[in-house]
Amino acid sequence: MKIVLAEKVSPATLAVFAAEPGWEVLTHDNLPNGLEAALADADALVVRSAVQATDELMKHAPKLRVIGRAGVGVDNIDADAATRRGIVVMNTPGANAIAVAELAMCQMLALARKLPAANATMHAGKWEKKNLQGSELRGKTLGILGLGRIGLEVAKRAKGFGLELIGSDPFVSAAVARENGITLVTLEELFAKSDYLTLHVGLTPQTANIINAKNLAAMKKGVRIINCARGELIEDAALVEALKSGHVGGAALDVFTVEPPKDSPYFGLENVILTPHIAGSTAEAQEAVGIQIARQVREYLKLGVVQNAVNMPSLSHEEYVQLAPYIDLAGRLGAFLAQTGYTGIESIDLIYSGALAEAKTELVRNSAIAGLLQGLENVNRINAAAVASERGIRVHEDKQAPQRGGAATLLAVELRSAAGTTHATATVIHGEQPRLLEFDGIDVEAPLEGNLLVCRNLDVRGVIGKIGTTLGEHGVNIANFALGRDRSGLQPVKALAVVQIDAPVSSEVIDALKQIEAILDVKPVSLPA
């Protein structure tokens, strides 16, 4: 085997490969003819963040089997190109969790005790003890946004300081939260109750600019905000205004929308601590990610074991072609359920019938889970089941014979959470068209594609017309209108409308629909076209 380490790694990382008899290892400083030449007969490439593993670079590596990223982000790797070329792409999520958690705690303490100001005045020869009275962490409420590996490591350390822990994460079960001494709350409660708020979520459409003017206004006066996650989570102008007004008592920022920041609005603000993206920059963390990726690459090359892959299906080409429509369907059904309002998932049941009951369903299962967990960063069809397990979500699969007279191949997904149970069934028609067949016991055939409005209502006269009229008044064009009625015999009778529209609608349209007297709820859903 030939391994190319394209960037500097620790001696311990190198030792993992060097211990394998007959393996050739080239380091970044031993590529006399350049990286492209070194890759001509290489089996594995290991990078950090500087080397760009592009499609063009892969053209020079016909034997390459795996690209290992010593770190989490894979923005510098063309994963699609790697997939086309049959190259597995792996990363190392969580290896630097302790380093990031420790910096978050350090920043809390620095804000509480005004350490930067104390240090600066002492170096200036001043003794300003009276102006540097701080506060204790003990007895304060720490809100943790995101309870993945880093968020939970923060919680472990924060307990020792006597902080009351609350957290918000729709993808963590109540059991995991309880085990870590965290009270699960809604996002609104998190913002309203936190004395300190620390951010540990990835960047997704749902989390971008989540710290905005509206949410800042809902926070306690004097709240202190720590961000060691992604700069894009914060609407900078809104936070700067809140810091200047004193509504936010302080902030500690390790990440920025543009790095390195230039002419940042935070420069010069005395109640802001700025660090240059150093949360994961400890000797221990850097060594840990290097050793982890080396072991993963070694296990794949020797045994075919795939760990933390971001792109590799575990099916033959023929099997993949047959299952592809149902893999896609599963992702859409998971995303549909995720967007219709259920959070705090405790268990996921997947029921297959027809052809799916005889197939290898790992990718179908993972696609459904990835759709359900779409609010998390770096969740995909390869690692979805592992992420669910890590977050305390139980996953169960059941394969059944098709019901007589029913569709030949069905996929049903049932979720259980503290809020209750929800269930949906779907199929693929004509080999390529994903269709919803049932939602929470109500039969309704609707396309699982594009922009949808899922309306729950009491089954009374005039509701359909009012929905159409309201959408028309707001210039919204209806592409498909599917209806279903609860036939359980319960009173009052409830109904369901799944309305496909040409484009996403504003919150104003959603609010207008909710004003219709018989409407119980409206949820917008966005799926691939």
What are the catalytic residues? 230, 259, 277
Closest CA to 497 of 529, 515, 521: 521
Angle (deg, nearest 10), helices 97-113 and 149-159: 50
Q: How far apart are CA 56 and CA 457, in angstroms?
A: 54
Q: And the tokens for 77?
A: 């790797």
Q: How far apart are CA 488 and CA 516, in angstroms?
A: 24
| Sheet-wide strand order for 478-485 | 478-485, 494-501, 451-458, 519-526
238 touches 216 (CB < 8 A): yes
418 touches 175 (CB < 8 A): no
Buried/exposed 399-423: b ≥16 CB within 10 Å, e otherwise: eeebeeeebebbbbbbbbbeeeebb
Buried/exposed 122-144: b ≥16 CB within 10 Å, e otherwise: eeeeeeeeeeeeeeebeebbbbb
246 touches 269 (CB < 8 A): no
206 touches 233 (CB < 8 A): no
How far apart, in Å, are the Cα atoms of 17 and each of 5, 20, 31, 36, 99? Answer: 10, 6, 17, 21, 25
Q: How many CB atoms lie within 10 A of CB 234?
A: 25
Residue with tokens 């008592």: 249
Q: And the tokens for 507?
A: 């919150």
Q: How far apart are CA 92 and CA 309, in angstroms?
A: 9
| Sheet-wide strand order for 44-47 | 24-26, 2-5, 44-47, 66-69, 88-90
